[in-house]
Amino acid sequence: MKVLIADDDQLSRMITKAAVEQSGHECIVAADGDAAWQLFQEHAPQAVVTDLMMPGLDGLALCRAIRAAEDGSYTYLILVTSHGTRNDVLAGMEAGADDYVTKPLDPFSLHTRLLAAQRITSLHADLARYRLALAEQARTDPLTKLHNRLKLSEDLDQLHARCERYGRDYSLAMCDVDHFKSYNDIYGHQAGDAALEAIAGAIAHQARKGDGVYRFGGEEFLFVLPEQSLAEARLVVERARAAVGALGIVHSGDSSGVLSISAGLASYVEGHRVDSEQLLKEADLALYRAKAAGRNTVAVAE
């Protein structure tokens, strides 16, 4: 565990540092509150042992600053006080401290508190990982492993705001698997799920690193293509359409004999700065035009 010590008294720093290192922890030392705050931001220690009274930020102000800066992580704060009065202890806890020790420092007392710190910060780290995993799971389609509508809403809002602010372009492509209902009717839903997984993999493989591919719902997928004009986006979608055809998923209910996709394209470009909801509608309307034109094709929004 990485431990930051903040104390303006040299002897106290030496004693505390020796106790921390004897407990088997890495040590960072600051001689005042301002230096401690700087070191905290640079090194993100799991625990801080801070004197109550010192130049710059005092112990209470340092505790408050650390608590205000925490974002998903947790730092165990131990306040060191010369008096240990009830008012000092209460003020420290209200400022965000987890525990306190009194001067002169007893190495054994500090050791026991660092054991608690290690246990608590480890639990918080585990919880942060679980929260991150759950957040990712909530934004991932369980079948295709593509991002879902929730993630699309978040990403598209951010992209649109950025492009609106800086005058950048982006394109959307709504894709739909042709005659998928009849495929499920003929081959069953298990085969339909397997087909969707394969198609999702094929179209995602055609996206660039900065592009987004989402399962929009059912057999519909959406490309979000930053920094791409209509012509550039069409090349990506045509490659995706060809990749799906190359899978050769047999479908006796389709005139081509295999599963295919149709797509509708719309772009946020100079002269057409509409909101993202309108752009989605335009891509969807273009998709209907592709379907009406015989399917297995790409249509562009008017």
Catalytic residues: 219
Q: Alpha-carbon distance 10 to 21, whole Å?
A: 16
Closest listed residue to residue 233, CA positions, set 289, 292, 175, 178: 175
- Plot region of 139 (φ>0 → left; ψ -120 to 50 → alpha; else → beta): alpha
Peptide bond into 226 cis (omega under 30): no
The answer to whether the beta carbons of residues 47 and 78 sit under 8 Å apart is yes
The answer to whether the beta carbons of residues 133 and 87 sit under 8 Å apart is no
Q: Which amino acid is at 127?
A: L
Contacts by 186-194, CB closer than 8 A, 24 or more apart: 186/251, 186/252, 186/253, 187/251, 193/143
* Sole residue written with tokens 């799920």: 193
Q: Alpha-carbon distance 224 to 245, whole Å?
A: 21
Q: Alpha-carbon distance 5 to 30, whole Å?
A: 6
Beta strands in the chain (DSSP E): 2-6, 26-30, 47-51, 76-81, 99-102, 170-177, 212-217, 220-226, 261-268, 298-300
Closest listed residue to residue 221, CA positions, set 203, 248, 239, 243: 203
Q: Alpha-carbon distance 31 to 33, whole Å?
A: 7
